[in-house]
Structure 1
Amino acid sequence: MSLRRLWAIWRMPYIKLLASEGGKECIFCKLPRENRDRENLILYRSSSSFIIMNKYPYNPGHLMVAPYRHVANLDELSDDEIIDVMNLVRISVRILKEAMSPDGFNIGMNVGKAAGAGFEGHIHIHIVPRWIGDANFMPILGNTKVISEALTNTYDELKKVLDNLVARSKS
């Protein structure tokens, strides 16, 4: 039996990013300052936090909500920041439901390196849409997650739904 290969060439930028993290600026601080929201996958900005797509998603539509302020722990956020972050988590769930019709969600935080935080110095919440049957053998046997849609296509669809949601709330 010969060894089979599944090419996952999109993973190399992520591997290089992880390898070079030391001394690099925090993405949750850097990307919002650049004002290139589509390129940086920032879907929405509020007064003290923002919604951003995960560039290396666990599932299609994987979003994150982060405060603008660089804080490592939940207890460092002000009450207003906590309310703002949680409102954006709620909005994230709404747009994912409307755009992608998931069967459920994983919503959570990895606080600290021991908990698996990729960017341990800047707290953020993951919102991962889930579908019945979305887990398969690939991550277990092949150490590969299959993402079935291009990030820019997902961004455009979620942005359209979000813009409609915002417009409906203003009328």
Structure 2
Amino acid sequence: MTHADAAGPDIPGLVAASDLPGVPDEFQRLWTPHRMAYIQAGADAMRAACPFCAAPEKSDEDGLIVHRGRTVYALLNLFPYNSGHLLVCPYRHVATYDQATDDEVAEIGAITQHAMQVLRGVSQCDGFNIGMNQGRVAGAGVDEHLHQHIVPRWETDANFFPIIARTKALPQLLGEVRQAIADAW
């Protein structure tokens, strides 16, 4: 096929690029079919069915829960920034930190500390990003249910994916990570 043949797939003898899945081009592809559930659900579905209210009603494995406390629980982020990315959520459906009770605030802190110890032991991470995005304007993906992020970081976790392709490569499956963290809890 010549450059002139790129005019369109209706030219006799021309094969459309979509019919040549094995032909290399300048694009690298990272297949992430698990994200389709999130994409297809859309923002309205996330608001209608809060994932942080639904998780505790499931088994620990199905809800990705690693620890259940008295007023809050810890679970893996379904769409992690790094392997072992945990969330700490109150069972109550509250949107912001100032709406949490004193007991919830204290348990969020205690579970966060323990999660850091567990993650250091399980993954030998070198540091953490810890934080809460309060409201959609602040970057909260689920803005109607309070949750704190605990993201393990490693000195050696920098690679070209996040820098060049704005992509994260996660070396472990969520189920394996959840089991390791839950076992170490």
Using structure 2 for the length normalisation, give the TM-score: 0.81
Return the offset for 1:22: 5.4
Give the Å deviation of 1:37.
1.1
Partner residue in 1 for 2:116? 93
State which drifts further: 8-17 or 64-73: 8-17
1:128 and 1:102 map into 2 onto residues whose CA distance is 10
What is the SS of the residue equivalent to 1:111?
coil
Matched, 1:12 2:48: no
Q: 2:95 aligns with which of 72, 90, 95?
A: 72
- Provide runs of 4+ in structure 1 moved above 3 Å: 17-23
Query: Could you list the runs of 5+ residues in structure 2 that have no partner in the other structure?
Result: 1-23
1:9-158 alignment runs, 5 A limit: 9-10=32-33, 11-18=35-42, 21=45, 23-34=47-58, 36-158=59-181
Cα offset for 1:27?
Answer: 0.8
The code of the aligned residue for 1:8 comes to W
Cα distance change of structure 1 residues 96 and 141 upon mapping to structure 2, 3 Å threshold: same
Give the conservation status (yes or no) of the 8 Å contact 1:8–1:144.
no
- For 1:47, the aligned partner's letter is R
Report how many aligned residue pairs link the two structures. Answer: 161
Larger radius of gyration: 2
Would you say the 8 A contact 2:46–2:142 is kept in 1?
A: no
**Alpha carbons 1:62, 1:127 under 8 Å: kept:** yes
Q: Report the aligned-residue RMSD.
A: 1.7
Look up the SS of the partner of 1:96 in the other structure.
helix
What's the offset of the Cα at 1:20?
5.0
**Compared with structure 1, are the counterparts of its residues 23 and 72 closer, same or farther at alpha carbon in structure 2 (3 Å cutoff)?**
closer
Q: Which amino acid aligns with 1:75?
A: D
Question: Residue 169 of structure 2 aligns to which amino acid in structure 1?
Answer: V
Unaligned runs of 5+ in 1: 163-171
Q: State percent identity of aligned pairs.
A: 39
What is the SS of the residue equivalent to 1:21? helix
